[in-house]
Amino acid sequence: MLEPLSRRRWAILGVGLLTVFLVLVTADPAFAQEAAESAPKNKNIFVHIIESAGWLFGPMLIIMSVILIALCVLLVLDLRMSVAIPPGFVDEFIDTVNKRRFKEAFDMARNDTSFLGRVLTAGMSRLQYGLEDAREAAQNMLESIRSSKEQLNNYTAVIGSLGPLIGLVGTVLGMIRAFQALSAGQGINAARLAEGIAEALSITFLGIGVSVPAIFFNAFFRNRIVKVSMDTGHIADDLLTQMYHNSKKAAGAPPSGGTPPQTPPGQGTTATVPPR
């Protein structure tokens, strides 16, 4: 179940990256043609900024932008509430537990690849040792899932920090070229001076342009991770508590039909769940 989902996610990501690449490749000629038709003497400002970035900083900023888009797509797909807590799963799980079909409930959680299914599986596997031990195992699994998403989100913060730094490097390089033009012995070369200043300001602009959305999405996904983790943890704790108390009732008395109830995973037919 996990492998087909992963392939579909990477397919969507690949199509998105290909679209972005095609837009970036075909954007310059379109802008250049439009600028040439409308104002032959003055270039479009966006074309001028892109050309000022040059072959060193331009590809570097484009790669950072593509990586940022890829990270955002992956986090959006992973942090959907339907992925963390599948609709209908909680009601079906509660109904199965109330019917005291604990083995079936365990298999249901184990076969589910959502956040809630993984947390429940970890907790239910330790339920035979008590509710507190099950809660601790579930919390450890939740922290592991949360940590993996936070590590992925940290790269957006790295991009947000690198953008202004790359812009600063471009600013310094552009100012060096401007001062070189001033220091030439043949007087002030206005063209070279303007070219150096324009390059400095353009690279700074592009670096900030990459950094601003990176910082925004980093904060957005950080809050999203906290919300999804809290909701998953609360629901998992409620389900584990309900299963624990139902297992105690099942171990104490058989149902009216005379058939012994199923016991929680990991317990024998005559063992009871030890109290806390």
From residue 214, alpha-carbon distances to 19, 21, 96, 223 in Å are 20, 19, 44, 14
- Distance (Å, whole) CA 105 – CA 120: 10
* 262 backbone dihedrals φ, ψ, rounded to 5°: -70, 150
User: Closest Cα to residue 247, out of 258, 257, 268, 262?
Assistant: 262
- Distance (Å, whole) CA 71 – CA 206: 19
For residue 125 the two structure tokens come to 């596997």
- Distance (Å, whole) CA 16 – CA 74: 11
- Distance (Å, whole) CA 214 – CA 263: 50
Alpha carbon 20 to its chain centroid, in Å, reads 19
Give yes or no for a contact between 175 and 134, defined as CB atoms under 8 angstroms apart: no
- Distance (Å, whole) CA 237 – CA 231: 10
- Distance (Å, whole) CA 80 – CA 114: 10
Helix axes 115-124, 89-98, angle to 10 degrees: 30
What per-residue confidence (pLDDT) applies to 8? Answer: 60
In the DSSP assignment, the letter for residue 225 is: H
Contacts of 259 (CB under 8 A, 6+ apart): none
What per-residue confidence (pLDDT) applies to 113? Answer: 86
Give yes or no for a contact between 202 and 177, defined as CB atoms under 8 angstroms apart: no
User: Domain ranges in the chain?
Assistant: 2-252
What per-residue confidence (pLDDT) applies to 142? Answer: 93
Q: What is the pLDDT along the chain (276 residues), one digit of tens a residue?
A: 333 445 565 555 555 555 555 444 444 443 334 434 444 455 666 666 666 666 777 788 888 899 999 999 999 999 998 889 988 888 899 888 888 888 888 888 889 888 999 999 999 988 888 889 989 999 999 999 999 999 999 999 999 999 888 888 888 887 777 777 677 656 666 666 777 677 778 888 888 889 999 999 999 999 999 999 999 999 999 999 888 888 777 665 554 443 444 545 544 433 333 333
CB atoms within 10 A of CB 240: 23
> In which element (H, E) is residue 14 found?
helix 2-38
Helices (H) and strands (E) in the chain, counts: 8, 0
- Distance (Å, whole) CA 207 – CA 177: 19
What per-residue confidence (pLDDT) applies to 30? Answer: 39
What per-residue confidence (pLDDT) applies to 43? Answer: 60
What per-residue confidence (pLDDT) applies to 26? Answer: 44
